[in-house]
């Protein structure tokens, strides 16, 4: 299986998310395609926040198995901690991560 780019993965996640929220689909059906895209993105970000996740984490959740999600999520968080130059324990604390 070819690895999806982050953008392709996100598009896929938005499609799955929209299937989970038929009300949203109905609500935005009369908007232009661009406006529909914006509305879906905003709703997706709100959903991530409601679940206590970053939008990229929700993308991951929608495009992987639960096992892959946890594994990939930690890998990406560790990369973020390195980029930020923050100790892993401190990073986990700042982001309410339980590992």
The predicted-structure confidence for 50-98, as pLDDT tens digits, reads as follows 999 999 999 999 999 999 998 988 998 999 999 999 999 999 998 888 7
Residue 2 has pLDDT above 70, yes or no: no
pTM (2 d.p.): 0.81
The 10 Å Cβ neighbour count of residue 63 is: 19
The 10 Å Cβ neighbour count of residue 17 is: 20
Question: What is the C-alpha to C-alpha distance for residues 21 and 62, in angstroms, rounded to an integer?
Answer: 13
Question: What is the C-alpha to C-alpha distance for residues 56 and 69, in angstroms, rounded to an integer?
Answer: 11
């Amino acid at each position: 299986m070819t690895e999806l780019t982050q953008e392709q993965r996100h598009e896929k996640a938005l499609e799955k998310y929209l299937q989970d929220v038929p009300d949203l689909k109905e609500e935005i059906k009369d908007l232009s395609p661009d406006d529909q895209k914006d509305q879906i993105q905003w709703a997706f970000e709100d959903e991530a926040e409601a679940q206590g996740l970053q939008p990229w984490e929700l993308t991951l959740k929608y495009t992987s198995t639960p096992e892959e999600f946890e594994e990939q999520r930690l890998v990406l968080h560790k990369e973020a901690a390195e980029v930020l130059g923050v100790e892993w324990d401190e990073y986990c604390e700042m982001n309410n991560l339980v590992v």
